[in-house]
Amino acid sequence: MPQTHAPRTDGARTDGGRTDGASLRQASRDTAAELKAATVARLRGAHRAGYRRTRLVTFVLVLMLLALLVASILLGGVERIPAGDILPAAFGMRTGLADYVIFRIRMPRALAALLAGALFGLSGALYQRLIRNPLATPDIVGISAGAGAGATTMLLFAPAVPFGTSLAGLGGAFALVVTVLALSRRGGGVDTYRLVLVGIGLSAVCSAYVNYLFTVAGQHGIAQVMRWLVGSVNDATWEGVSTLAGALAVCGLCTALLDRALGSMALGDQLALGLGTRVGAARIATLLVGAAAAALATSVTGPIGFVSLISGPIATRLVGADRSVALAVPIGAVIVLGADVLAQHGPLISPVPTGVLTALLGAPYFVWLILRRRQGATA
């Protein structure tokens, strides 16, 4: 009896399986494309929102700076100056009392406070972003103390040298940053806690050196240096303003050139190397730029404490870490200029040096930061 065979359906099933597999793969590709498009859209939206927030915060800070500048110039004893002479006198276009009060005293003081605050804010934000530690600022790790030691030496023994105080402060800061980095290296990198402890220790050494200088200095030199060491803009001059403006321009340009490297190093050294960043050179350059900003500001106004410590975290809270370095510049300017206006005209406290008020603001924050990090380490 002839054997009958059922019709084969393997080919149909195979074709159907292939069709189903292609459909599944196409659906997966479509889903992945949709997820990618949604992610890109969210990222773009977050970027636009962050950019708008940054513009808004910058606008508010600029308005605050303008208001503080006006307050610094107008508050206290301008009744005898005609109102129509105040603005021209601010640009050096008047003579007599208006020129002396506005252009020679108040404008240099206000601009010195603004520019020094900007430099302190920039230096602190650079160190905090590079080392990823809110304690690693120039005044905490001792760089400001090194600048103060160098500037004090020049103030006592060669005060007439042109730009001598600025150059000596810069040399002292660079010497200290090299020493701190050499002593805080551990396992091929920089230990941030050791960096802070070494900086505090070297700050004490610099303070002891300054105290020794007091024992060999004359009475006039001691009085001058004491006013400077507290941190004040009382004796600001147009020469000092020029120094600060040039320092801010140069340090700001260097920071802009280092911005991409800082962004990649925030992802980790290995990934930054993979992206083509010269991590070692960028780290050294950032440390030197931050040290130069703090040193030149210190050489003009003295060590106005804690501005570099609090400017960066405030900027981070307002606009995020990516834009914190740029925003720390106007924030530092607002802090120092606002503290100076309050030091001159605040009820019950004026007149006091500007550095006293910034220390009263920054010291509690520093203690709170130490306690919080300590609790986090023991948790």
Tens of pLDDT, residues 250-275: 999 999 998 888 888 877 777 777 77
Residue with tokens 């020049």: 154
Average the pLDDT over 139-153 and give the result: 84
The answer to whether 190 and 184 are in contact (CB under 8 A) is: yes
Over 80: is that where the pLDDT of 62 sits? yes
User: Residue 101 has what pLDDT?
Assistant: 84
The answer to whether 229 and 152 are in contact (CB under 8 A) is: yes
The answer to whether 77 and 98 are in contact (CB under 8 A) is: no
Q: Apex CA 18: angle with CA 16 and CA 22, to 5°?
A: 115
The residues pairing with 253 across neighbouring beta strands, listed in sequence order, are none
Nearest to 165 by CA among 206, 225, 216: 225
pLDDT single digits (tens) 85-107: 788 888 877 777 888 888 888 99
pLDDT class of 123 with cuts at 50, 70, 90: very high
pLDDT single digits (tens) 271-290: 777 777 787 788 888 888 99
Q: In whole angstroms, what is the distance from residue 95 CA to residue 217 CA? A: 38
Q: What φ, ψ does residue 185 adopt, rounded to 5°? A: -75, 140
Over 70: is that where the pLDDT of 18 sits? no
User: Residue 1 has what pLDDT?
Assistant: 45
Cα diameter, the chain: 133
Write down the mean pLDDT value for the chain: 80
pTM for the full predicted model: 0.81
More confident site: 269 or 337: 337
Q: In whole angstroms, what is the distance from residue 149 CA to residue 250 CA? A: 23
Residue 289, SS3 per DSSP: helix
Q: In whole angstroms, what is the distance from residue 313 CA to residue 328 CA? A: 8
